Structure 1
Amino acid sequence: MDAEKGTADISASAAPKTSRPEVTAERLRQVLSYSPETGEFRWNWIGKFNRFVGKVAGCINGHGYRIILVDGRIYGAHRLAWMYVHGALPVHQIDHINGIRSDNRIANLREATLIENLRNKGRNSNNKSGYKGVSFKDGKWRACICRNGKNTEIGRYDSPAEAARAYDAAALATYGRFARLNFQVDAR
């Protein structure tokens, strides 16, 4: 508590609850091997735990991400893959380009801010049109996109596929390389 201002310093309480230090790139390479082509981690020989040597490390959590326990701390395998290749944990989030959370090939990973990562999100589970950014309203298929935190209507169309194509064009213009499209584009 700061006596002069009468305020508490909350920075200490905001720190992680574990006292174990984060893994270093050196330690990571000591205990695990990583294949950039497959995205797979395997255990190296580590002290008394040599029964795990060569076995795939970690497990898939309830959200579809592979997680790995290293020196008493749990890490997302995608974050460890980034560290293994680039030498440090990422500053921001790691985005799985193809949207498959367990695909940790380095070619499928990129650093992204929270907003960029959300732009690459697939369609909502309650979506009835089958296309991201498309809904049915007042007898037409409506295409919408989120711009600057606000839902913006792109237009209304006779078919859901037309609306989806309009969404894709707007998403590419608005989100760039982080756009999750309804239809595959070769020149991306």
Structure 2
Amino acid sequence: MVKRFFEFVKYDPETGVFSWAKSPNANSPKDSIAGSTDTAGYRRISLLGKQVSAHRLAVLWMTGSTPECEVDHINGIRSDNRWANLRVCDQSQNRQNVNIRSDNKVGVKGVRITKNGRFEAQVIANKTRKSATFITLSEAAEWVRSTRLAMHGEFAKHA
């Protein structure tokens, strides 16, 4: 299946774009961009009755093996499949590289305001949770940032 797939597509690691090496049908001419963007923002390519995520296909293309875990988009843009923007990771690491929640009321990822007006900061990694409560938002923000760096390492994302 994979070998057959690679007969039809080509990948440019600099741009992250998959294009058709040969036309799979009348609607997809040779050299046109392969696939489409799904409702979640990921590029998906359909061929031979299968749908494949472009970021997973890029890892297979570049390494020669199918990623057993997840593939993270470093910059958080799900359609950006440049090789420099992809990394194989586990589920916990992939969850660390998420944007601030839309319902966050204080503007700092990992910090919420409690009923008594204090600021609770929380960081989770690999089922380990650390939390602390602070009087000021700036103290909570500083703590959550340094704790996130310590716990998440290269996967830390602060915004």
TM-score band w.r.t. shorter chain: 0.7 to 0.9
1:101-160 Cα deviation digits (max 9, x unpaired): 11111111111111111121222221111221011122222211125536432341413x
- Structure-2 residue corresponding to 1:144: 122
- Which runs of 5 or more structure 1 residues have no equivalent in the other structure? 1-22, 183-188
Aligned CA RMSD, in angstroms, stands at 2.0
Q: Kindly indicate whether the alpha-carbon contact (under 8 Å) linking 1:44 and 1:53 is maintained by their aligned counterparts in 2.
A: yes
Q: CA deviation at 1:168?
A: 1.4
Structure 2 Cα separation of the partners of residues 87 and 50 of structure 1 = 29
Matched AA of 1:63: A
Q: CA deviation at 1:89?
A: 1.5
Higher Cα radius of gyration: 1
Q: CA deviation at 1:40?
A: 0.6
- Structure-2 residue corresponding to 1:130: 107
Q: Kindly indicate whether the alpha-carbon contact (under 8 Å) linking 1:28 and 1:84 is maintained by their aligned counterparts in 2.
A: no
Structure 1 Cα separation of the partners of residues 82 and 135 of structure 2 = 38
Q: Against the structure 1 CA distance between its residues 129 and 48, is the aligned structure 2 distance closer, same or farther, given a 3 Å change threshold?
A: closer
- Structure-2 residue corresponding to 1:153: 131
Secondary structure in 1 matching 2:123:
strand
Secondary structure in 1 matching 2:134:
strand
Q: Kindly indicate whether the alpha-carbon contact (under 8 Å) linking 2:8 and 2:24 is maintained by their aligned counterparts in 1.
A: no
Q: Against the structure 1 CA distance between its residues 47 and 171, is the aligned structure 2 distance closer, same or farther, given a 3 Å change threshold?
A: closer
Matched AA of 1:77: A
Structure 1 Cα separation of the partners of residues 149 and 24 of structure 2 = 50
- Structure-2 residue corresponding to 1:3: none
Matched AA of 1:172: L
- Structure-1 residue corresponding to 2:10: 33
Structure 1 Cα separation of the partners of residues 28 and 50 of structure 2 = 20
Matched AA of 1:152: K
Q: How does 1:1-188 map to 2 (within 5 A)?
A: 23-24=1-2, 26-46=3-23, 49=26, 52-137=29-114, 138-149=116-127, 151-159=129-137, 161-182=138-159
Q: Kindly indicate whether the alpha-carbon contact (under 8 Å) linking 1:65 and 1:101 is maintained by their aligned counterparts in 2.
A: yes
**Highest RCO, 1 vs 2 (Cα 8 Å, sep ≥ 6):** 2
Secondary structure in 2 matching 1:163:
helix
Structure 1 Cα separation of the partners of residues 24 and 41 of structure 2 = 30
Q: CA deviation at 1:51?
A: 5.2
Q: Kindly indicate whether the alpha-carbon contact (under 8 Å) linking 2:133 and 2:140 is maintained by their aligned counterparts in 1.
A: yes
1:24-48 Cα deviation digits (max 9, x unpaired): 2x33332111111111111111466
Matched AA of 1:100: I
TM-score after normalising by structure 2? 0.88
The percentage of counterpart residues that share the same residue type is: 37
Q: Kindly indicate whether the alpha-carbon contact (under 8 Å) linking 1:121 and 1:180 is maintained by their aligned counterparts in 2.
A: yes
